[in-house]
Amino acid sequence: MRWSVPVRARLTALYFVVLAASFAGFFWISDIGFQRSIETTVNEASLGNLQSVQRVLVKSVPGGSQKVRDELEDLRDLWANGALFEVLDAKGQCIFRSAKFGNASPKLPKDVGTSVFFLTTNLNLLQYRIALQRVQAAGQTWEIHAAVPTEPFDQALDHFRLIEQEALPLVVLLASLLGYWLSGRSLAPVSRIIATAERIGVQNLSRRLEVPKARDELRRLTETLNAMLDRIEASFKRITQFTADASHDLRTPVTIIRSTAEITLRRTRSEEEYREALATVLETSVETSELLENLLTLARADAGAVGMEMHPLELGAHVRKAQQRALALSADKPLDVAAVMPAEPIWVRADAIAIDRLLLILLDNAVKYTPAGGRCEIALQQDGAQAKITVRDTGIGIAEKDLEAIFDRFYRADRARTRDIRGAGLGLAIARWIAEMHGGTIAAESRVGAGSTFEVNLPLPSAGTATA
C-alpha cells in the first residue's frame, strides 16, 4: 500500500533536506576556512618571531657569545604573549632556550639550506606552532626555532564548532517550520481551487474558479481551468440541445406511424385505404431513417470517429453527378437544373462519398425551396488556390436574421413559410462539417423572395500532388 503524502509535507521535507545539507556544507566549508586562517596566522606569527631573533643575532654576534645571550634574554622579556624560541650554533649546541621551551625541538636536516619549515608540537602540555630556519649572521650559521602558542586559536575553533553543533539543528528546525508555513500559504489557492472544483457539477456548470490576483503559475492554471469549464459548459449545452431537438424530431415521425397504424386498424378498410396508410408509414420511415443516419453522422463527427479517405478527385465529374441527382429530385415539378463547368478539369484531394453528400445536400435544399418554374444552378470554377463550387436558386430565400444560424443543428428558418417542406435541419450542419474536414469553408447569401447562393471553397493540392 502506497502512502499518500500531501504536497505540503513533501515540500517541507524537501526543504528540510536541502536546508540541512546547505547549512552542513556551509559550516563544513567555514570550519576548513577557519582552520586554514588559524594556520596562516600562527605561521606568520612564528615566522615574524623567527625574523626578530635573526635581527638580534645579526646585531649582537659581533659582540661575542655573552652579548648574544644578553640580547636574546632581553628579547624574551619583551615578548609577553607566550612566544618561545631557541637558538643553536653551527655545531647544534644550544646557545639560548626559553625556559618553557621544554625538550629541544627536532633539528633541521643539513641539506635544507635556508628554507623555513613549520611543525606543530606540544611544549609543557601546550600546543605550539614552531618555525625552523638556518640563517647567516656575521659569517656564522645559526639555527633558530621560534614557537607561538596555538591554544587561543584552538579554543576559538572549538567554540565555533560548539556553536555549529548547537545552532545547526535549531536553525534547520526553525527554517523548516517557516517553510511549512510558507508552503501552506502558497498552496492555499490550490485548496480553494480544489474546493470550488468539487462543488461544480451538472447543475452549476456556469460556476467558475476564483482567479488569484498574483500573476503567477496558479493564476495561469486557474484561467486554463476556467477556459476548460467554458468549453465543457458549451459542449454540455450543445449535447442537451441536441438531445432535446433529436427527441422532438424523432417523436413526430413515430407519432405519425403509430397514429396512422392505430386509425387504420380501428375498422376494416378498403385496399386503397390500406395502401394509402402503408405509403404514409413507408414515407415516414424513410424520413426517420435519414434523420437517424444524419444524427449518427454528427455523433461520430463529434467523437472524431469519422475518417476521410482523401484521394485525388476531379470535381467536374461529381458536379455533373450531383446535377443528375437534382434532376431526379425535381421530377415532380418543372425546374431548370443547370451545371456550369470550367474548360479545364479541377483536381482536389477529397473523400468522394463526402463530396457527393455535400453537393447533394445543397442541391436538395435548392430543389426543395424553389417553386415550380424556377432555376437551380451549380457552378464550378478555380479561384486562385481554391476550387469554388456555387449553388444558386431562385427559391423563397432566407431572412437575414436566419443566415448566421442556418448551419446550426436542427435549425430551420421560418417554419411558418416552410411547414409543407419536411426536414430536420441537419443537412447544412453536415455540409459545413464536410467542408471543414477538407480544410475548406462554406458560406451563404440570400434575400427573401430572391433566392439563395451557397459557396463552397476547397483548397487545391500543391503542385505534383494532384494525381499522387
pLDDT digits (tens, 9 = 90+) for 226-256: 888 888 887 777 777 767 766 766 776 788 7
Taking the C-alpha atoms of residue 221 and residue 196, their distance in angstroms, rounded to an integer, is 14
Beta strands 375-383 and 336-340, pairing class: parallel
Beta strands 441-447 and 451-459, pairing class: antiparallel
Q: What is the DSSP letter of 349?
A: E
Residue 314 neighbours by CB distance under 10 Å: 13
For residue 379, the cross-strand partners are: 340, 390
pLDDT for residue 417: 43
pLDDT, one tens digit for every residue, the chain (468 residues): 455 667 777 777 887 888 788 888 888 888 888 888 888 888 888 888 888 888 888 888 887 878 878 888 878 777 755 678 888 887 778 888 877 776 655 666 665 667 888 888 777 777 888 888 888 887 788 888 888 888 888 888 888 888 877 777 888 888 888 887 877 777 777 777 777 777 787 777 777 777 777 777 778 888 888 888 888 887 777 777 767 766 766 776 788 788 888 888 888 888 888 888 888 888 878 877 877 776 777 676 666 656 678 889 999 999 999 899 888 888 788 888 899 999 899 999 998 888 888 898 899 889 988 988 899 999 999 988 999 999 999 988 888 888 877 887 766 665 444 445 555 567 888 888 889 888 999 999 988 888 899 999 999 987 655 444
* Ramachandran angles phi, psi of 82, nearest 5°: 85, 5
Taking the C-alpha atoms of residue 204 and residue 82, their distance in angstroms, rounded to an integer, is 87
Model pTM score: 0.50
Taking the C-alpha atoms of residue 86 and residue 69, their distance in angstroms, rounded to an integer, is 11
For residue 457, the cross-strand partners are: 388, 441
Residue in the structure block whose three cell numbers are 602540555: 125
145 close to 96: Cβ distance less than 8 angstroms: no
142 close to 89: Cβ distance less than 8 angstroms: yes
pLDDT for residue 467: 47
Helix axes 7-60, 65-78, angle to 10 degrees: 150
Taking the C-alpha atoms of residue 237 and residue 409, their distance in angstroms, rounded to an integer, is 13
Residue 87: which of 40, 62, 52, 44 has the closest Cα?
52
CA 384 to chain centre: 40
